[in-house]
Amino acid sequence: MGAYILGSTLALAALTVEARLYRWVDEHGNVQYSDSHPPGNAKDMIELDSRGMVRKAAGKKASAGELAQQEAEQKIVQEQKRRDHALLESFSRPEEIDVLRDRQINAVEARVQTNKLRSQALQDKLKSLKAQVEAVTKARKKPVDAVQEDLELARKELDGLDAEAKKMTVEIAAIKERAEVDKKRFIELSGAPDLSSRK
């Protein structure tokens, strides 16, 4: 009998501490999320479990569109939980996110430098090829097809390198933005101080 009571108590405690999330629409029509029960004037209240799955929905039966929206929102919640878990598992201090950011940027900048060297070599090649074409033209001769082909290929490759350089600039900006978001979220989750901001 005692074991039965103890088992029931533990089961009840487990249910009590299980994380719950509520989704509802406030008086302004905005969708809200909270781990506290929504106010009495909340509409379309849905109770989610710790995985972001619907536990209980109040009111009328949801339409197909509403269900699709709820499913999409659940996926967002689940993805955020996955990212939060990964952040806490990967880092122990906010400064480590800065270190990773700098390492990733350095890798891209190394590619940028290689790109610049290749671009310079191509520009020199273009200059030489153009000089050959001009010399042939001055002599009133038809430029050699091979020279014309090399000139066109060099121009195309240079255009490709210019496009790649622009992509790498965007990539560096994205790395910085992602690191800033991750660091802010890590500090929210862990409560760790951001020592890098005091420098």
pLDDT in tens, 124-163: 998 988 888 888 777 777 667 777 788 889 899 999 999 9
| Confidence at 198, pLDDT banded by 50, 70, 90 | low
Give residue limits of the domains in the chain.
18-90, 94-198
pTM of the model: 0.58
Q: Supply the pLDDT for residue 20.
A: 67
The residue type of 139 is A
The b/e string for 77-114 (b: 16+ C-beta within 10 A; e otherwise) is beeeeeeeeebeeebebbeebbebbeebbeebeeebee
Which of 34-43, 52-61, 64-73 has the weakest average pLDDT?
A: 52-61
Residue that is written with structure tokens 């992602």 in the block: 178
Taking residues 66-87, what's their average pLDDT?
89
Per 3-state DSSP, what percentage of the chain is helix, strand, and coil (rounded to 5)?
Answer: 70, 10, 20
